[in-house]
Amino acid sequence: MRMFKMVLMLMCTATMTLPIGAADDAPPATAAGRALAMKKTAELLIKGQVRIDTKAEISVSDNQTAALVDQWNGGNIFIPLTPDAAQIHPIPVRGWNRPILVPHSTKVVTKTWGYVMVNARREAAINQLVKIPHEMEEGDWIDPVVSPRGDILATRPTINELQFWDLKTLKPLSDPIQQPGRVSRISFTSDGKYFRVYAGDRLSILHPSTGKSVAGPFQTGPFRYYPYSPGIGYARSRPRAAYEPATGRIVCFQNKGKDASLSCTAVVRSLKGKSKPVSFEIPLHAYQCSWIDVNHLLVQAGRQLETNWYNTYPLLVVSLKNEVPKVTELHPNIDHYGIAPDGRHVIATIRRGPVGQSMCWKVGQPKPIWTAPGFFAGFGKDGWVLTHDRGGTANILSVETGASLWKQPEVMVALAKGQHIWLFFEQSCQAWNAEWRNDGRHSGIR
């Protein structure tokens, strides 16, 4: 009997140290007849070498071989992700916060006062490849931006200028391009074909390879700052002018008014010149916008200005079928949103303090189809979504039903990349692979 009790105690202790679900004999939750099998592919110990807390911003390279950690006010750290390694081997990266891990590579772009640095790993060090002028002013900092293909870098050499650089040759693609005012915001379109630059209160569309004008300048009117969104990372990639690559259309907003008397005129234009402009108005300010598909826009608006902030942030969907705009409010106050890869679902986090709650709508339906705990943190491949309250539980849910498919507690930062999930704890990081099984079988958490 004594031996039996000792064996039972050892079994219980071992069970408590395994990830959630590892010792759960109950069948896993399924969605539409499919079960999501989870397999751990890597685990590395951190052991205090890098500060991972709820403020850390982390990006993982496209080939899953490196991570870049912005410790907020504690420096930037490059981490090689070697699956067979027992612990990390961090490499410091010089520069301010908000470093950029270049797409399709492990190069890192950082900034400091007066210039931008392009860096690359050389064995156990990060070497500076080039230093590029990039003007900063107190209270007017602007990040450099990198194209989605990782081939072009855009900087602000002086307050009123813009310049493009080839990230392969590290040579300028253009001379500094004079703008009609202070450059306040820059971004590439999602396909990298065009470039948006805000100078003064006007928006211009340029060709990034040549710097030549494609369209504009368009009046934009007043615009205010927006709060940081937990779970989605920095808001630097959010454009005020949304571009749809399939049709080459762009929607631009002109905000007017102040306090409670706000209005916005939106104009949808073709950059290819194949359709007439379509316009609509809303009694709010446009805050950010994305195309759901070629017929639907998603607009996060601002209602009533209070100093530099809006008091609420309604979520609107705009139908453009038959070129007749129809505006529907989905929710009166959200934090941030995401559009599923299938183009048929929208998930937004409701503003409710440090603990999140996410809602999902099916495009064309005004009422949400499910509500679940956690801030929206990203979509995975083929029908699942990650929600996460930083420092708390990371959840994988079915996009279609909201059913909980898997969870992991006490996670500082959680990322979704394709069919992979990266979890960063205070003392370790893990990589998991999520694979759907259509026959309902589940091989368990391995």
Please state the pTM of the whole predicted model.
Answer: 0.85
Count of the separate structural domains present in the chain: 1
Q: Is residue 251 part of a domain?
A: yes
Q: Is residue 264 part of a domain?
A: yes
| Residue 309 confidence class, pLDDT cut points 50, 70, 90 | confident
Q: Is residue 318 part of a domain?
A: yes
Residue 383 region by backbone torsions, left for phi larger than 0, else alpha for psi between -120 and 50, else beta: left
Q: Is residue 192 part of a domain?
A: no
Burial of 47 (0-12, 13-18, 19+ CB in 10 A): exposed
Q: Is residue 39 part of a domain?
A: no
The answer to whether 330 and 318 have CB atoms below 8 angstroms apart is no
pLDDT digits (tens, 9 = 90+) for 312-331: 999 999 999 988 899 999 99
Please count the other Cβ atoms lying within 10 Å of the Cβ belonging to residue 389.
21
Q: Is residue 187 part of a domain?
A: no
Instruction: Please state, in angstroms and rounded to a whole number, the distance separating the CA atoms of residues 154 and 134.
Output: 10
**Residue 359, token pair as written in the block:** 């809602």
pLDDT digits (tens, 9 = 90+) for 383-438: 999 999 999 999 999 999 999 999 999 999 999 999 999 999 999 999 999 988 87
Of the candidates 369, 402, 371, which has an alpha carbon nearest to the alpha carbon of residue 384? 402
249-258: strand order across its sheet: 242-244, 249-258, 261-270, 278-282
Q: Is residue 43 part of a domain?
A: no
The rounded mean pLDDT for the chain is 85
Q: Is residue 247 part of a domain?
A: yes
Task: Find the domain containing 250 and state its range.
Answer: 243-329
More confident call, 12 vs 220: 220
E strand or H helix at 209: none
